[in-house]
Amino acid sequence: MTSSQVFALRPAASGSYRVAWARERLADSFWPVPVAFLVAGALLAAGTVYAPGLGLKAVLPAGPPVASGEAASVLGIIASATLTFLGVVFTLTLVALQLSSSQASPRVLRTFIRSGITKVAFGILLATFAYSVAFLVLAGGHGHEPESRGLAIAVLLVAISLLLFVAYVASTLRLLQVAWVITDVADRTRHSVRVHYPPAGAYHLSRAPRLDGPRQKFALHAHAGVLQGVDHERLVSLARRHDCVLRLLVRVGEYVPSGDDVLMVYGENDPPRYRELIAGLNLGRSRTLYQDPAYGLRQLVDIAIQALSPAINQPTTAIQVIDRLEDILRRIAARPRLSGCFADSAGQVRLIEAVPSFEDTLDLAFTEITGYGATSPQVVRRLLAAYDVIERGLKPALQPSITRRRDALLVQSSGLGAAARQPDALGLG
């Protein structure tokens, strides 16, 4: 590689970016799945009543015979009981959220919101309620066959609701265990690292961009929020069309106030329009993991330092976090350093993105835990063991960064005895 060349990535297609963004929005939104079940329940009731006319008689056959008016009585009881059951589930969810927030971190509440079983459990209960009420409204005067069919389907929905409620309770109890929450956050972070820290084979030698010509800054106008993601392919295509180079002035995960500079455009031709540039940026209310692996580390560290606070004082929880941080950092260290450069099909760098260095990642992972845990023998021993393991997997140029942190930890923990400052992968067992 010469001074006029850099390692750059070819951006993923905008379609995959939009799919990932939509999937992330859907996972972070609670209401779409329950509402879809609610509508499906009402439609199922209509299909049950009008099955012969809709050609669904073979799909929705008649159930066992029932006495006149019996189906209406049972469905009324089901509707009432289901609504009460929904209140119980909602209350249980609120209690679980409060407990999890107090013992782990408010940031992990996102785990509850993204839980598929919670959404489906709410949804099937709403579907059962909607089905029962809609059937009672629509079935009048349609004879015994719809009543027989409707009661059979209602009983089936109740059975499914009970099974899902058991699964929901089991899932909620699991989410109340801090070790499971730590594991869930760590798994999501590993996935984000795997996606956004590409292997060496994904990089291509490209022509280095010229950044010494005319430039123009673009600031956010009416927009403001956290930069959640970047449509690299869209911005690269836009820069190629205008024969310019774009440089992102903020990192993914950073809050950008209205009026702050967000992009720098280098080039002599007419720069892209503001709306074209902003369309390639995804701004939201809070950080997400789908283009921000550092947010996973942030959540893990928050759990650790909350556990190390005097009010909670649970160093074993911090040890569990350090276990995961060690693994994640080893994975990051094994990947090539992020270049932040994205090239077009001709090999010309068109987009430069601000990316964290490995030093930044180490600071995020260990600085606060060291500050809060330097007086805990268990935490100190586990940190020293983590430093040893990470250092063995680092390139020689990066090893001094671990040495500095080890020395700083030994200074901060100097009040502890020698036995409390020996590396131990179990802390104190």
pLDDT digits (tens, 9 = 90+) for 3-41: 678 889 888 876 777 888 888 888 888 889 999 999 999
| Band of residue 309 on the pLDDT scale cut at 50, 70, 90 | confident
pLDDT at 323 over 90: yes
Least confident segment among 40-44, 90-94, 161-165, 241-245: 90-94
pLDDT at 296 over 60: yes
Strand 261-266: give its sheet, edge to edge. 203-207, 5-9, 341-343, 349-352, 245-248, 261-266, 215-219
pTM: 0.85
What is the per-residue pLDDT for 43?
Answer: 92
Q: Dump pLDDT digits (tens) for 184-193.
A: 899 999 999 9
Q: Dump pLDDT digits (tens) for 34-91.
A: 999 999 999 998 888 887 666 665 556 555 666 666 778 888 899 989 988 888 888 8
Of 130, 125, 140, nearest to 71 (Cα)? Answer: 140
| Band of residue 105 on the pLDDT scale cut at 50, 70, 90 | low
| Band of residue 180 on the pLDDT scale cut at 50, 70, 90 | confident
Would you give the DSSP letter of residue 207? E
What is the per-residue pLDDT for 20?
Answer: 81
pLDDT at 285 over 90: no
Which is it for strands 245-248 and 349-352: parallel, antiparallel or unpaired?
parallel
For residues 149 and 396, which has the higher predicted lDDT (pLDDT)? 396
Q: Which residue has the tokens 């008689």?
A: 57
Which is it for strands 245-248 and 261-266: parallel, antiparallel or unpaired?
antiparallel
What is the per-residue pLDDT for 365?
Answer: 95
What are the start-end ranges of the E strands in 212-257? 215-219, 225-230, 245-248, 255-256
Q: Is the CB of residue 352 less than 8 Å from the CB of residue 245?
A: yes
pLDDT at 389 over 90: yes
Of 369, 403, 363, nearest to 383 (Cα)? Answer: 369
pLDDT at 102 over 80: no
Q: Which residue has the tokens 């280098």?
A: 266
Q: Can you give the residue ranges of every domain in the chain?
A: 31-176
Least confident segment among 93-97, 156-160, 188-192, 368-372: 93-97
d(CA 371, CA 77): 58
| Band of residue 301 on the pLDDT scale cut at 50, 70, 90 | very high
pLDDT at 213 over 80: no
